[in-house]
Chain A
Amino acid sequence: MKEIIRAAVAVIVVSALLLYINSQLGKTSGSTGSDTITVYNWGEYLDPELLDQFTEETGIRVVYETFDSNEAMMTKVQQGGTSYDVAMPSEYMIENMKEEDLLIPLDHSKIPNLKNIDPYFLDLPFDPDNEYSVPYFWGTVGIAFNPDLLEEDFDFTSWEDLWRPELREQIILVDSAREVMGMGLNSLGYSLNSTDESELDAASAKLDELTPNVKAIIGDEIVEMMRRNEAAIALTWSGQALDMMYINESIDFAVPEEGSNLWFDNMIIPKTAANVDGAHQFINFMLDAEVAAQNADWVGYSTPNAAGLELMDPEVTGDERFYPDEEIRERLEVYRNLGPEMTGEYNERFLRFKMGMN
């Protein structure tokens, strides 16, 4: 009995001690207070040196956390355990968060560097007048391919090429319902935001015909697979394609002509923010021409910052595959928030497609 009491006391003492240490740590890395901000971003999506530079310039310390999906980010913001001051969700998620009242409007007078952004990327349908968001990076969805591993010459200017029988077991798809369903819809000439049942049925049927050519449906492992020549073709985002090319120079990237997805990740201030002023300073800092150029260099995705673009290597910014001109961009579509029912329907169709693979 005595031993048990002793053990119990020991457990309580240790727990109390840990609690105390934790609260102390919380104080020092404090996500509250006026001299720190908490930034919530995708992984590998910001040059860490810039965080130090920001602290040097403003005296505000940055606590940096990462997420791996828009939905996971929104759930964390909704639960409100951590006071995130700045986050970088994609455009359809901003519509969603706006509906859920999770965003704080931006004070444009505190973000003078907004003038650096190419007007093409401002005032977009998902956020008129940039009331809540400022563009951070943008890109496309397309086909990364390795001509060395293909017997014939393909240029993938059409989605239709993917259906060619010679490509049996060659294609890796990204494990994401919107991208795969979007490909099916685009290949038939429909909008990738379609909510029309007959169009969706046609896209599902079209995708089922693709199954013999599909090697796998995976996530970020795609990059490694393509780098190591494990697969010849991948449906992926432009930035991921660039990641592949850094290591494996044979890889090329194409955005099919029937149309595809144009996406934007944007900086927002969520309702959880404890340091709204610091968050504005951070957003303004990231929009500085030199900072944006350095960040784009490090991250590899396309920057919407026109002033920053001029400071970058023209060989990169002149690359039509990653900085397509306006004529090509006209053919691309931005995802709209489809609402919970349609999102569910897209995912159920995608699940059915995956089940049909075996």
Chain B
Amino acid sequence: MQNKSTRALYLIPYGAWILLFVIAPIALVVYYSLFNIHGDLTLANYRAFFSSIYLELTLSSFWYAFLITLFSLLIAYPTAYFLTKTKNKQLWLLLIIIPSWINLLLKTYAFIGIFGQYGPINAFFAAIGIGSTQLLFTDFSFIFVSVYIFIPFMILPIFNAIDRLNPALIDASRDLGASPWTTFRKVILPLTMNGVKSGIQVTFIPALSLFMITRLIAGNKVITLGTAIEQQFLVTQNWGMGSTIAVFLILFMFIIMLFTGQKEKGGASVGKTK
């Protein structure tokens, strides 16, 4: 009994935290989304969301988030795989993670200089005879910078998953005559899928609502739901519509979490019996 009540006591800070910083903000967003610009209770904002402009915006956000996640994954998986094979893997991992400690805005501003008309890349292009190219404010630069920013978050979970893989399984697969490709497809990939899913979660969801990079690197030629929310709150001061877009963003995130969610296996249930 004593044990139970102290355990409940421990839960208070977490409960209060979740109530204050998770449930209350979401409830407020939903609450605000029900009011129009004059403060009347209405569902008009939701109707407005289904007008062409916001649906188009949603599609384009998803498309770019998909591209960013895809390229991050394509680069991160092999990187994580080879990292586990290196001698000082923790050190290498650290070197890859360190750039993510630098403020996002600083990194983005650095890219403005790097991609600039007189930046190092164009200087290199000019030197090898391609001539100066417009790099900044293009789809390419937007995807490149976003992928660069998200890669550490993609590598980390995949690295952990591959690192935990029992090498005996791979040996067994080889002994039984599987080609390296079959081994990868039938053994390594399924066993590291959880890492890939976490990686996709932490990349795709924030990529949906990027707005600062769309302005600084893509020059607002790429528009995401984040841009629309920012505009509704700061310029139009239509908090209702801004909240409505945010509600849909939360819904999308929830759906993505469902799809990429981890099935509870081994580890989790061990924790429960204790």
Contacts and interface: CB of A to CB of B under 8 A. Distances in A.
Given A217-B220, A340-B238, A355 B112 contact: no
B117 interface: yes
B228 to A, nearest CB: 6
Contact of B37 (A175, A229, A340): A340
Nearest to A68: B234
A95 to B, nearest CB: 14
A8 B226 CA distance: 38
Contacts of A71: 234-235, 237
A25 interface: no
A120 B72 CA distance: 59
A215 B137 contact: yes
Contacts of A351: 53, 57, 223, 227-228, 231
Contacts of A358: 60, 139, 221-223
A224 B215 CA distance: 15
Given A344-B37, A358-B222, A169 B237 contact: no
Interface string A218-242: 1101001000111000000000000
B134 interface: yes
Interface string A1-36: 100100000000000000000000000000000000
A69 interface: yes
Interface residues of A, number: 34
Contacts, number: 87
B219 A218 contact: yes
Contacts of B232: 347
A175 B6 CA distance: 55
Interface in A283-341: 340-341
Interface string A49-74: 00000000000000000000101101
B219 A348 contact: no
Nearest to A340: B37
A177 interface: yes
B216 interface: yes
B56 interface: yes
B60 A355 contact: yes
A206 interface: no
B223 A230 contact: no
B234 A230 contact: no
A230 B57 contact: no
A343 interface: yes
B216 A221 contact: yes
Contact of A347 (B38, B139, B236): B236
Nearest to A11: B13
A219 B118 contact: no
B221 A218 contact: no
A102 interface: no
B234 A218 contact: no
Chain A CB count within 10 A is highest, among B139, B235, B237, for: B235
B199 to A, nearest CB: 27
A42 B57 CA distance: 32
Interface string B1-43: 0000010001000000000000000000000000001100000
A216 B37 contact: no
Given A228-B118, A347-B231, A351-B231, A216 B220 contact: yes
Given A176-B235, A230-B116, A230-B136, 10 more contacts: A172-B219, A215-B219, A217-B219, A218-B215, A224-B112, A340-B236, A351-B228, A352-B53, A354-B221, A354-B227
21 contacts: A69-B235, A71-B234, A75-B237, A172-B219, A216-B136, A216-B218, A216-B220, A217-B221, A218-B220, A228-B117, A230-B136, A343-B235, A343-B236, A343-B237, A351-B228, A351-B231, A354-B227, A355-B57, A358-B221, A358-B222, A358-B223
